[in-house]
């Protein structure tokens, strides 16, 4: 696994040491900066050479997302409660400073209050000032430095807590007591383990078996093929050649089933890459250009090869019943997309017209693929409701909870998703928020 490590020199060196000693299967590439605003430039054109990117903290990740679109997994090392406890212990052991009067640019008041309660400090016994400005702002460093200095000069605090390398250096240069929160070795290990597991899950999903059931459509009642069997056999041979050429592109295993049917087995990653997520199934076009016949195609997903084959047959039958020369993609019995047709098919609406323009607008505005928008709309229709928890949607989409939260964040940002409540799923766990999807 190839991981890019983005951060200041001290933290990057610490991460590299842990990887060298304990994670031999990870090949790291260091991207060291002096200012976190350099992160976008460091990552420019680098993602094709990596499997994932690990940031030293949330600030460089949020800032980089502003200028570089993530096309691989991005993760940051969190500053956990144990890291805060470690810094509070350092402050408590110093006779010059007090843990009861602090400023912090890292933890919000809820996190701080929870940690103070764990060490037996009541809420009325401490005063902590926290920042409110978003870290993706270009002048965030200047703002944070001024924030800490202002409270210190006013004697409202005894010292500062920061996770920003440049803020710590700037405050120290002004003789303002500053304690930097660095990630512990254990938190780094946990984050690296998490990235490895997510990578393995992604590889597993990309390797999911996909079946394609392809049938050469029967000639129409008035076709000349009915009077010339030899020409019909020659034409079928031309179609079969195009099917095998397509199978070669998706590296599929091909099984001929009878005189007119073919069964192909490939992987999710290859099929979706070659067809551009089914926006252009090239086989439909090449068959039409190189023969006088058409084909009906069913693409089936499933947990097993048998289930994928069953779904592919369902899609192929539906394409055939709708006149042929089309494809249907079947994720499950309740989630079917299609028909997908060639762009120049004059008989029926092509895929660009089939997709409601409102859906295309949602896709373009939110930055989420049309395929994913389609799947979300299919879920809304098949379940007859618009309110779900993130965990429910993750299970229905067959993606990770982190990916689902990112999708919901994009939809919320553009007004297609709203939080409407919370639900307690377990007695010990935190309540899960309930969101309402408002996709047209």
pLDDT digits (tens, 9 = 90+) for 203-249: 766 678 899 999 998 765 444 444 456 666 777 888 999 999 999 99
What is the distance between the alpha carbons of residues 331 and 313, in angstroms, rounded to a whole number?
12
What is the distance between the alpha carbons of residues 404 and 411, in angstroms, rounded to a whole number?
11
Segment 6-25 mean pLDDT: 93
The Cα angle at residue 402 between residues 399 and 403, in degrees rounded to 5: 50
| Domains of the chain in sequence order | 2-78+186-203 (3.40.50.2300), 81-180 (3.40.50), 207-354 (3.30.70.270), 362-437 (1.10.10.10)
- Please give the residue that has the higher pLDDT: either 209 or 424: 209
Contact 297, 281 (CB under 8 A): yes
Q: Which two tokens stand for residue 321?
A: 């019943």
pLDDT of residue 425: 59
Contact 344, 242 (CB under 8 A): no
pLDDT of residue 342: 77
Q: Is residue 317's pLDDT more than 90?
A: yes
* Alpha-carbon Rg for the chain in angstroms: 28
> Above pLDDT 90, what percent of the chain?
38
Q: Is residue 368's pLDDT more than 60?
A: yes
Q: Is residue 25's pLDDT more than 60?
A: yes
pLDDT category at 380 given cuts 50, 70, 90 is confident
- Please give the residue that has the higher pLDDT: either 435 or 83: 435
Phi, psi of 201 (to 5 degrees): -65, -40
Encode burial over 413-427: b for 16+ CB neighbours within 10 A, e otherwise.
Answer: eeebbeeeeeeeeee
pLDDT of residue 424: 63
pLDDT digits (tens, 9 = 90+) for 284-298: 989 888 877 889 999
Per the omega criterion (within 30 degrees of 0), is the bond before 323 cis?
A: no
Q: Is residue 132's pLDDT more than 80?
A: no
What is the distance between the alpha carbons of residues 86 and 141, in angstroms, rounded to a whole number?
24
- Beta bridge pairs of residue 432: 423
pLDDT category at 359 given cuts 50, 70, 90 is low
Q: Which of 119-128, 223-232, 356-365 has the lowest mean pLDDT?
A: 223-232
pLDDT of residue 4: 96
Helix axes 109-118, 81-92, angle to 10 degrees: 60
Q: Is residue 130's pLDDT more than 90?
A: no
pLDDT of residue 15: 95
pLDDT of residue 353: 40
pLDDT digits (tens, 9 = 90+) for 60-79: 998 999 899 999 999 999 87
Q: Which distant-in-sequence residues (6+ apart) come within 8 Å of 75 by Cβ?
A: 52, 53, 54, 55, 61, 191, 194, 195, 198
pLDDT of residue 371: 72
| Number of other residues whose CB lies within 10 A of the CB of residue 373 | 24
Instruction: Give which of 243, 238, 250 is closest to 215, Cα–Cα.
Output: 243
Encode burial over 284-322: b for 16+ CB neighbours within 10 A, e otherwise.
Answer: bbbbbeebbbbbbbbbbbbeeeeebbbbbbbbbebbbee
């Amino acid at each position: 696994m190839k991981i890019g490590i983005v951060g200041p020199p001290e933290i990057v060196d610490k991460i590299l040491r842990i990887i060298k000693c304990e994670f031999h299967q990870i090949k790291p590439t260091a991207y060291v900066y002096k200012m976190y605003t350099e992160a976008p430039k460091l990552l420019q054109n680098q993602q094709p050479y990596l499997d994932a990117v690990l940031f030293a903290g949330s600030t460089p990740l949020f800032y980089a997302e502003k200028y570089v679109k993530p096309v691989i997994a991005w993760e940051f090392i969190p500053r956990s409660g144990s890291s805060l406890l470690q810094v509070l212990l350092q402050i408590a052991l110093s006779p010059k400073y007090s843990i009861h009067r602090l400023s912090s640019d890292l933890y919000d008041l809820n996190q701080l209050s929870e940690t103070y309660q764990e060490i037996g400090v009541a809420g009325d016994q401490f005063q902590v000032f926290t920042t409110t400005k978003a870290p993706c702002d270009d002048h965030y460093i200047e703002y944070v430095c001024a924030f800490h200095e202002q409270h210190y000069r006013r004697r409202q605090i005894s010292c500062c807590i920061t996770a920003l390398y440049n803020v710590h250096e700037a405050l120290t240069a002004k003789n303002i007591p500053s304690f930097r929160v660095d990630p512990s070795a254990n938190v780094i290990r946990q984050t690296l383990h998490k990235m490895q597991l997510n990578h393995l899950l992604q590889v597993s999903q990309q390797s999911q078996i996909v079946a394609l059931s392809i049938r050469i459509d029967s000639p129409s009642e008035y076709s000349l093929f009915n009077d010339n069997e030899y020409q019909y056999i020659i034409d079928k041979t031309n179609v079969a050649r195009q099917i095998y050429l397509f199978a070669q592109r998706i590296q599929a295993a091909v099984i001929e089933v009878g005189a007119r049917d073919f069964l192909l087995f490939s992987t999710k990653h290859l099929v979706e890459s070659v067809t551009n997520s089914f926006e252009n199934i090239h086989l439909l076009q090449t068959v039409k250009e190189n023969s006088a016949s058409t084909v009906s195609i069913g693409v089936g997903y499933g947990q097993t090869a048998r289930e994928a084959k069953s779904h592919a047959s369902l899609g192929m039958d539906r394409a055939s019943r709708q006149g042929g020369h089309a494809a249907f993609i079947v994720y499950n019995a309740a989630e079917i997309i299609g028909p997908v047709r060639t762009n120049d098919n004059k008989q029926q609406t092509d895929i660009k017209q089939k997709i409601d323009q409102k859906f295309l607008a949602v896709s373009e505005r939110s930055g989420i693929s049309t395929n994913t928008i389609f799947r979300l709309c299919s879920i809304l229709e098949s379940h007859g409701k618009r309110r779900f928890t993130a965990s429910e949607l993750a299970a229905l989409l067959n993606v990770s909870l982190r990916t689902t939260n990112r999708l919901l964040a994009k939809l919320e940002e553009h007004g297609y998703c709203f939080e409407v409540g919370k639900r307690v799923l377990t007695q010990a766990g935190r309540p899960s928020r309930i969101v309402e999807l408002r996709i047209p």
